[in-house]
Structure 1
Amino acid sequence: MSERSRFDEIKDELEKLDVNPTFFARKEIRELPNVLSTDERIVYLVEGRNKTTKHHIILVATDRRLIFVDKEMLYGLKVEDFSYDKVTSIQYEKELMLASIDIKVSGDIVEIDGVGKYEAELFCEKTRDFMSRPKEYFQPKTKPSVLDQLEQLGKLKENGVLTEEEFLEQKAKLLEKL
């Protein structure tokens, strides 16, 4: 899959999520095809300003992790990501016009301000949902090996679920994969 088509997928995902990044986030958004895994999906995205560096950044919640993306002309690209089990708290504070998000992760607090009020609240809700999921949810799903599948077929035959003919047919199909 080319980078351009992955970029188009990302733009479509953001549109479906009703996320409309500003002109200031375009450099970071363009980097997402290089940052996200091919099967990783965006849950929500906000943009704001890192309180420490004063750089404009995007904060991306995916179905696997939180990602901070900072693309500055002079400093290059800085990407930090954290699995949800490393995030101990996330909160937002509404100010007069905008909001800020504080994320406590691995003992540090990352503060982002200049976030839209509605977007900050929604981002925190979606992130909390993933934080509450068991660690196993984020483990890659592995397909059973051919040997595991053959073993399962044998048990099905042994328990009378499969006939000898069905067993031999399925076994032949599995052995073709080798």
Structure 2
Amino acid sequence: MTKTCGICGNKISWYKLKFKDGAMCEKCLIKYKFGTKWKIKSTAMVAWCKDHSIETIKELINEGKNANDINTSDYTLKNQLKEIDKKQASLQENNASFNLSDELAKDTVDKINKLDLPTEFKQALITAKIFDIFAVKKELVFLPQIINLNNEKIIYACSGSLNGHTWLIVCTNQKIIFVNKNLLYGMQEKDIPLNAINAINYTQGAVLGSLSITNGANNFIIENVNKMAARIMAKKIQETQLNVLKVKSTNSSNTNYDELRKLKSLLDDGIITEDEFTAKKKQILNI
């Protein structure tokens, strides 16, 4: 390990710039314009230095030049290409994951069709591309008792562990439903309205993942979730919650406009004054 600067010979502190066969101290780094006390000039410069020797730098300095005279454009391009490759690899991984989840959902169709469920519920589960139904068949059969498909839609569902028991977690267009059937307590159900969820996060391990759903001061940690199902569930909850908020905002705006029209009619009929109309208008529009 290099302990002295290849340029001035002084001892090197924890901060240094590495070359192919040595390193540069902080003082020389600043003196010859390779960076500041806090950072290197650029990532392209770091890459250039790793490809060149201390002797090359000494020759540069002897010619009265510094880092500003070094052309790192090729290395800038290399870094850009590396970033593009990383993004493409990430996209391919995501696409592969979702394609795999689609295939798993197809394989689960027969299992869903064998459940003691009304046809419309089987179709709702198949349409939602659900595949993670490990150990929750009893809970799935219970769904018709808690979900009315006439006014509620199943968005996604998966299984996971909560407080040491396996639960079915269902996202609908209205709420998150937790369902568990055990010998001691019978059928248990918990609901969280989508507009009451403050945060949703997920983690992924080699095989399993987890979900974290925050509702006010309560934080539900669902473990042992299929890692693909964990990511899909988190995404579905976020998207559905956003749609709910948009609808709520639109409905609120429409209600405000209706109230303003009624007030304008009262003003035109002379029932209220201009000042009363203006005051009420500001109250409705929160201005």
TM over 0.5: yes
Asked if 1 retains the 8 angstrom alpha-carbon contact of 2:181 and 2:188, the reply is yes
SS in 2 for 1:18: coil
User: What are the ranges of 5 or more consecutive residues in structure 1 without an aligned counterpart?
Assistant: 142-178
Q: Which has the higher contact order (CA 8 A, sep 6+)?
A: 1
User: What are the ranges of 5 or more consecutive residues in structure 2 without an aligned counterpart?
Assistant: 1-114, 252-287
Which of 15, 37, 60 is matched with 2:148 structurally?
37
Asked if 2 retains the 8 angstrom alpha-carbon contact of 1:28 and 1:71, the reply is yes
- CA deviations 1:108-151 (Å, max 9, x no partner) are 00011111111111111110012223547369x9xxxxxxxxxx
Which entry has the higher C-alpha Rg, 1 or 2?
A: 2
| Structure 1 residues 73-152: aligned runs within 5 Å | 73-135=183-245, 137=247
Change (3 A) 1:136 1:105: same
Supply the distance in 2 between the matched residues of 1:47 and 1:101 (Cα, whole angstroms). 11
> Alignment identity in percent?
24
Change (3 A) 1:97 1:23: closer
- CA deviations 1:81-103 (Å, max 9, x no partner) are 11111100001001221100000
- CA deviations 1:11-47 (Å, max 9, x no partner) are 1111122213435111100110001024211000011
Which of 176, 179, 203 is matched with 1:66 structurally?
176
Aligned length: 135
SS in 1 for 2:123: helix
Asked if 1 retains the 8 angstrom alpha-carbon contact of 2:169 and 2:178, the reply is yes
Amino acid paired to 1:37: N
Asked if 1 retains the 8 angstrom alpha-carbon contact of 2:168 and 2:178, the reply is yes
Amino acid paired to 1:91: N
Q: Which runs of 4+ in 1 moved over 4 A?
A: none
- TM-score between the two structures when normalised by the length of structure 2: 0.43
- TM-score between the two structures when normalised by the length of structure 1: 0.68
Amino acid paired to 1:78: Q
Supply the distance in 2 between the matched residues of 1:77 and 1:136 (Cα, whole angstroms). 34
Which of 4, 7, 24 is matched with 2:135 structurally?
24
Asked if 2 retains the 8 angstrom alpha-carbon contact of 1:71 and 1:77, the reply is yes
